[in-house]
């Protein structure tokens, strides 16, 4: 595992697995989104606070590489790093299995709407100032 600016543990729940007993592919998007939301909250910019300020972070592109499956009751480690490229905020996210093997690698690109209009992202950058240095 590499060095990440944020890590959190989660556990696979019974309704997240398919008939084969492995995590359904769409669930990994939920895990990654939950990790980003928790990162934002702990950075001092919860989605509620952003919404109150008229900020709406929206996904513009999500790439996911599925490496090894998670199964029922697995405890995973979900990790992320954040960079900025122009108006886009790029979350590089990895989810690790209990044995330390990489389960999923994802890249999520986020743009920011301010009061419904696409922005350069400076308002959102202020939320993540301590991480974008």
Q: Where are the domains of the chain?
A: 6-127
The mean pLDDT value for 29-54 works out to: 94
Q: What is the pTM of this model?
A: 0.93
The pLDDT tens digits of the residues spanning 66-88 come to 999 999 999 999 999 999 999 99
**Count of alpha carbons within 13 Å of 63, Cβ hemisphere only?**
5
Q: What is the pLDDT of residue 90?
A: 98
State the average pLDDT over residues 52-77: 96
Report d(CA 87, CA 10) in Å as an integer. 30
Neighbours of 75 (CB within 10 A): 12
DSSP string, the chain: ----SEEEEEE--GGGB-TTSBB-HHHHHHHHHHHHHHHHHHTT--HHHHHHTTEEEEEEEEEEEE-S--BTT-EEEEEEEEEEETTEEEEEEEEE-TTS-EEEEEEEEEEEEETTEE--SHHHHHHTTTT--
What percent of the chain lies above the pLDDT cut of 90? Answer: 93
Fold of 6-127: Thiol Ester Dehydrase; Chain A (3.10.129)
**Residue 1 scores a pLDDT above 80:** no
């Amino acid at each position: 595992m590499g060095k990440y600016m944020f890590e959190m543990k989660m556990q696979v729940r019974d309704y997240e697995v398919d008939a084969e007993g492995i995590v359904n592919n769409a669930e990994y998007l939920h895990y990654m989104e939950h990790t980003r939301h928790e990162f934002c909250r702990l950075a001092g910019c919860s989605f509620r606070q952003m919404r109150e300020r008229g900020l709406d972070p929206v996904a513009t592109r999500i790439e996911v590489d599925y490496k090894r499956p998670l199964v029922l009751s697995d405890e995973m480690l979900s990790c992320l790093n954040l960079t900025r490229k122009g108006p886009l905020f790029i979350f590089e996210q990895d989810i690790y299995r209990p044995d330390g093997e990489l389960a999923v690698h994802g890249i999520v690109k986020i743009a920011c709407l301010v009061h419904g209009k696409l922005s350069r992202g400076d308002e959102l950058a202020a939320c993540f100032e301590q991480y974008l240095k």
